Amino acid sequence: MLFVELALIRWTAANNFYLAYVTNFVLIASFLGIGIGFLRANARPALFPWSPLIFAALVAFVLAFPVKLTSLGGTKNPFQAAFGFSPLPRWQSLSITFVLCTTLMAAIGQGVGSVFVRLPPLDAYRLDIVGSIGGIVLFSLLSFLLLPPLGWGAIAAVTMAVLIGPRWQLLPLIAVVGLLALESFSKNDHWSPYYKVTATHMVGPIRVGGVTTHDVLSISANNIPHQTAYPVATLRRIERFYFFPYRHVARRRLGRVLIVGAGNGNDVAVALREGVRHVDAVEIDPVIQALGRRYHPDHPYQNPRVTVHIDDGRAYIERTKDHYDLILFALPDSLTLFAGQGNLRLENYLFTVESMRRVKHLLRPGGTFAMYNYYQPWLLDRYAGVLESVFGRSPCVELGDTLGTSRQAVLTTGAGADRNCRRHWRGDPLDPPTDDHPFPYLARRTIPGFYLRALGLILAATLLLIRSTGTRFRQMTPYLDLACMGAAFFLLETKNVVQFALLFGTTWFVNALVFTGVLLSVYAAVEVARHVRLPRPSRLYALLAGALLLAWVVPQESLLALDPPLRFCAAVSLAFAPIFFANLVFAQRFASVASSGTAFASNLLGAIIGGALEYLALITGYRSLLLVVATLYALAFLLGRRTLQTRTP
């Protein structure tokens, strides 16, 4: 069940541009579906035997109606579907995807629920957690091996076939594998742990921007144009901004340069041509870097003066002991979110005030920092204001071509900023992004209207679907405390995901470790509850409150000053102690429920509320989510007081 959920989150976003920055849309659909499945655990007809057919319908829809962004230039209709047709309107595409994901997970959830209710509640929950850990480990292994969707779909299809048996369901499962094979064997598509990377290598006379060149590598990520590799001679004529930072640095000072967001190698090739003696090139995506190594016309990654680091940029600058004459943030602009939980893009922590302070620390005396990309005017003002506050001087601004409503811009600061600078920034700084509120692309602290409308529709759909199962809300009222626990736990998990992203990097490996660690903490709590006579619930709630208070008192950014081993121990203690105590509370309560299926469904459906409340972080920052978590657990305590009077052995 969890393996399919993770695969859907990853795969649907790779084929539908509308889902690129709202991956928790599919996550919430999965929680809703699983909750509905558990509510129908004993109902007829059984849904699980129909899961292969629903699975095939979902795969066929996503592949038949993809949404591709064909142009970043602000054209009237930049979106395209399969075979050049216009895509479905956003509301239709997202609605159908949501319904199909919810229905598929409801069918699988009903299969799990039908077994769940036949076992003692804690035994069932324990087995569910063990299976969930297996799903995460398996999906992480496939990410490590860079396997395409055929690998994910084949594992899901084989598992369904084994559980259902050799019946008519084999036909839709064969169709699923066949459709995913067609996508996976496309010669231009490569599957990294983050993207579907589509690469096109063209050799021959090619006319680009009025210039003829002979070797071009074009890269799209998740159906969005992302990067293009050109020879340095071509870049000098059509993408001059690559060379702007070197105007501010004397050649004798180009000893060691750090490039964050090295990508296909354009920035590295320019640095080598400018005479840099050593380049540390940091790139988070191994597939994009490998494509650049193979196809970039100047082959910069083969140069012995270059050291490649496949890592998150913020994690690298926090960990490195080296110092640099020039540090470049070179077009670090991801096209996906870090995880289903948390509205973080892979590069968000690069642009915070705390990150810029660390960059300043890594510069050698007389060193220079530069960052460039295509910026909206307000975003340029935000970044320039951050640099001015950290470096104590107005950065140099050099503008280039426009792209839609954005414009090429290079911001340079440090000792070399005044060298050959024609214009310094003059503007009104906006609220700076911080490690607690790492949302540089949010113009002001608010929840965008699209999210509010989507969440409203999701909550309305949740109520309608619960009623459609024949469940009366009064059947769920005894478990309102469990629903509050589900919402609180979702937010607690989200807080840990983003905290570990800051402390150890926004990589897929860190993401997998966090989810595995969360589930191991849950499993440990369940084992303790099964074998130890727990104290009265009020004491467990007091321990949970103490763990939450400690997590609040210790700011996460303070852990960055610790050495990595000590930082890991401190982060694990602060993050997983509340999870452990929260699950002792849950396990003690869950052990005595009258209907484990309805109780567990209430907990899962409560997580949907948590998914909606997560967006409060766009206003308050992530640290304040702990206050929401504490409030929800306090509400759970109040709602469950009647059931807490008796102690469970």
Q: Which two tokens stand for residue 2?
A: 């969890």
Instruction: Quickly count: other Cβ atoms within 10 Å of residue 533's Cβ.
Output: 8
CA-wise closest residue to 634 among 508, 531, 484: 484
296 close to 264: Cβ distance less than 8 angstroms = yes
- In angstroms, the CA 218 to CA 195 distance is 15
> How far is it, in rounded angstroms, from Cα 374 to Cα 98?
33
Average pLDDT over residues 461-480: 81
- On whether both 29 and 100 belong to a single domain, the answer is yes
Specify whether 10 is located in the same domain as 96: yes
Specify whether 272 is located in the same domain as 392. Answer: yes
pLDDT band for position 648 (50/70/90)? very low
253 is written with which tokens?
Answer: 């000072």
Q: How far apart are CA 414 and CA 396, in angstroms?
A: 10
CB-based contacts of 562-568 (< 8 A; 24+ apart in sequence): 564/319, 567/503, 568/503, 568/504
Peptide bond into 78 cis (omega under 30): no
Q: What is the mean pLDDT of residues 467-485?
A: 83
Q: What is the mean pLDDT of the chain?
A: 89
**pLDDT of 491 higher than 90:** yes
Lowest mean pLDDT segment, chosen from 68-77, 410-419, 443-452, 631-640: 68-77
Share of the chain above pLDDT 90, in %: 59
Same domain, 244 and 186: no
- Checking if the pLDDT of 58 tops 80, the result is yes
410 and 461, same domain (yes or no)? no
| Contact by Cβ (8 Å): 313, 282 | yes
372 and 457 share one domain? no
Do 497 and 628 share a domain, yes or no? yes
Domain ends where: 392, 414, 436?
A: 414
Q: Which domain holds residue 284?
A: 240-333+353-414
What is the model's pLDDT at position 647? 45
Q: Looking at the DSSP assignment, which residues form a beta bridge with residue 213?
A: 206
In a domain, 203, yes or no: no
Given a cut of 90, is residue 292 above it in pLDDT?
A: yes
Q: Are 367 and 479 part of one and the same domain?
A: no
Q: Tokens for 309?
A: 């680091």
Q: Is 141 helix (H, G, I), strand (E, B) or coil?
A: helix
Q: Which of 628, 548, 555 is nearest to 580 (CA)?
A: 548
pLDDT at 496: 87
What length is written for the chain?
649
Residue 231 within any structural domain of the chain: no
Q: Which of 414, 434, 454 is the last residue of a domain?
A: 414
In a domain, 646, yes or no: yes
Do 486 and 606 meet the contact criterion of CB atoms below 8 Å apart?
yes
Among 483, 481, 475, 473, smallest CA distance to 595 is for 475
User: Which are the contacts of 25, defined by CB distance < 8 A and separation ≥ 6?
Assistant: 19, 94, 97, 98, 454
8 Å CB contact between 28 and 77: no
Helices (runs of H) and strands (runs of E) counted in the chain:
22, 13
Domain membership flag for residue 212: no
pLDDT at 649 over 60: no
For CA atoms 67, 72, 77, 82, the dihedral sign is negative
Long-range contacts of 185-193 (CB under 8 A, 24+ apart): 185/150, 189/148, 190/146, 190/287, 190/291, 191/146, 191/147, 191/148, 191/149, 191/287, 192/146, 192/285, 192/286, 192/287, 192/288, 193/143, 193/144, 193/146, 193/285, 193/286, 193/507, 193/508, 193/509
Summarised one tens digit per residue, pLDDT across range 525-542 is 999 988 888 888 899 999
Is residue 494 in some structural domain? Answer: yes
Structure tokens at 60: 């066929």
- H/E segment holding residue 488: helix 480-504
CATH number of the domain that residue 258 is part of: 3.40.50.150
| pLDDT confidence of residue 341 | 55
- Please indicate, yes or no, whether residues 280 and 157 belong to a single structural domain of this protein: no
Q: Which residues contact 10 (CB under 8 A, 6 or more apart)?
A: 152
* 139-176 pLDDT tens trace: 999 989 999 999 999 999 999 999 998 889 899 999 99
Neighbours of 440 (CB within 10 A): 20
Last residue of a domain, one of 191, 219, 249: 191
Q: Which is more confident, 516 or 643?
A: 516
**The domain that contains 541 carries what CATH number?**
1.20.1250
Over residues 244-271, mean pLDDT: 92
The residues pairing with 258 across neighbouring beta strands, listed in sequence order, are: 280, 327
Average pLDDT of span 47-75 = 89
Residues 173 and 282 in one domain: no
Asked if residue 535 and residue 408 are part of one domain, the reply reads no
Residues 460, 502, single domain; the answer is yes
**174: number of Cβ within 10 Å:** 14
Q: Answer yes or no: is pLDDT of 253 > 90.
A: no
| 197 part of a folded domain | no
Q: Total domain count for the chain?
A: 3
> Residue 603's closest CA among 621, 583, 619, 620?
583
CA distance from start to end of the chain: 31
CB 574 within 8 A of CB 454: no
Given a cut of 50, is residue 124 above it in pLDDT? Answer: yes
Q: Which of 222-226, 312-316, 343-347 has the highest mean pLDDT?
A: 312-316
